[in-house]
Amino acid sequence: MSYLINWLFDTGGPTIQYRTLVELLDKPWDDPEVQTAWAMIPDYPSLAALLAAQKPEGYWIQRDFYIPKHSSTFLVLSVLADLGLSRENSYIQRGVEFMFAQQRPDGGFCRQRCVSGKGWVRDEQPEPCTQARIMRFLIRFGFGQDPRTRLAIDWLLEEQRSDAMWLCSHARGRGCLRATLDFLRAAALDPATAALPTVAGVAMVVADLLLEPNMDRYHVGNEWLTLTYPYFGYSLISALDTLARFGFTPAHMKIANSVEYLLSRRHPDGSWSLDERVERCPLDFGKPGEPNPWLTLEALVALKRLGLRDGLTVNAT
């Protein structure tokens, strides 16, 4: 194996090992190494401690699934979905059932806030970006065919605008790129949704806005050039990975420019570093400025999906 693969195995823990085997080395699910790494994931100390902090009702910290920021139930489940856990895990089952209890009959997920003098009050309108992220972790955990998940997907599709984007309550009339990319990331994991004609337009919007300046017009800052993990906002790597799943290649100018930028941020040993650490993140994913296995794995997987497999062959200098 290359230096990079060995480094990922040595520094990343069982989730990195599992994903490296499956997503970079194309090992089948029944491969003994894959099975061993996957079985170790729930018992990894920091992850086991996070799971154990779940309340008996299925939430973390507060019943309002959206707060506190970056460590709420909503974001804990968003993070856990990318760590290899599935519906077979009892903590995941409880957390997902808690979230389904927040779903309206029309499929939208709404917060229940504690309001002074009124008790717990449900929001009137779901937010598309939150809805899309919930949709994504439900699919990742294996609840994609649950009727409640299909209802959540239908709600989002009904809220889509004619320009293929979504409008959140803070976007001031323009489409919200965060919600649009969040939907696309979820749709990429669900074949039935990915095949819908309207989703091709979503992918084109995301591709055409890659590396565009002045993104405040679309309710996001100019974050393309900032490398972070996990993806609580939007990111260049997650966009590239998602667009590759829809058949985009470096033949598209914006994809080529984005790949060029991503490769320019690479260290000589083939790794990438975080620019920023997510505050109050439910798990520690490393310090800024240091070679980071999580970000490196994400970048390598995205490049591989784009047909740039030579990224794995970098040797230490």
- pLDDT band of residue 25 (cuts 50, 70, 90) is very high
- pLDDT band of residue 278 (cuts 50, 70, 90) is confident
CA distances from 268 to 4, 167, 209, 275, 291 (A): 11, 41, 29, 17, 11
Q: Hey, is 194 helix, strand or coil?
A: helix
Q: What is the pLDDT of residues 123-163, one digit of tens each?
A: 667 889 899 999 999 999 999 999 999 999 999 999 998 88
- pLDDT band of residue 315 (cuts 50, 70, 90) is very low
- pLDDT band of residue 215 (cuts 50, 70, 90) is low
- pLDDT band of residue 258 (cuts 50, 70, 90) is very high
Cα 40 from Cα 37, distance rounded (Å): 5
Q: Is the pLDDT of residue 6 over 80?
A: yes
* pLDDT attached to residue 21: 96
Which among 146, 107, 150, 147 is positioned nearest to 126, based on CA atoms?
Answer: 107
Q: Is the pLDDT of residue 1 over 50?
A: no
Cα 292 from Cα 271, distance rounded (Å): 7
* Whether this model's pTM surpasses 0.75: yes
Q: What is the pLDDT of residues 228-255, one digit of tens each?
A: 999 877 789 999 999 999 999 999 999 9
Contacts of 281 (CB under 8 A, 6+ apart): 70, 71, 79, 230, 232
Q: Is the pLDDT of residue 292 over 50?
A: yes
Decide if 184 contacts 136 (C-beta within 8 A).
no
Q: Is the pLDDT of residue 2 over 90?
A: no
State the average pLDDT for the chain.
90
Q: Output 250 or 111, whichever has higher pLDDT.
A: 250
What is the DSSP code string of 113-165? EEETTTEEEE-SS--HHHHHHHHHHHHHHT-TTSHHHHHHHHHHHHH--TTS-
Q: What is the pLDDT of residues 53-92, one digit of tens each?
A: 999 999 999 999 998 887 899 999 999 999 999 999 999 9
Tracing tokens 């296995």 back to the chain, one arrives at: 293
Q: What is the mean pLDDT of residues 27-47?
A: 95
Cα 156 from Cα 29, distance rounded (Å): 32
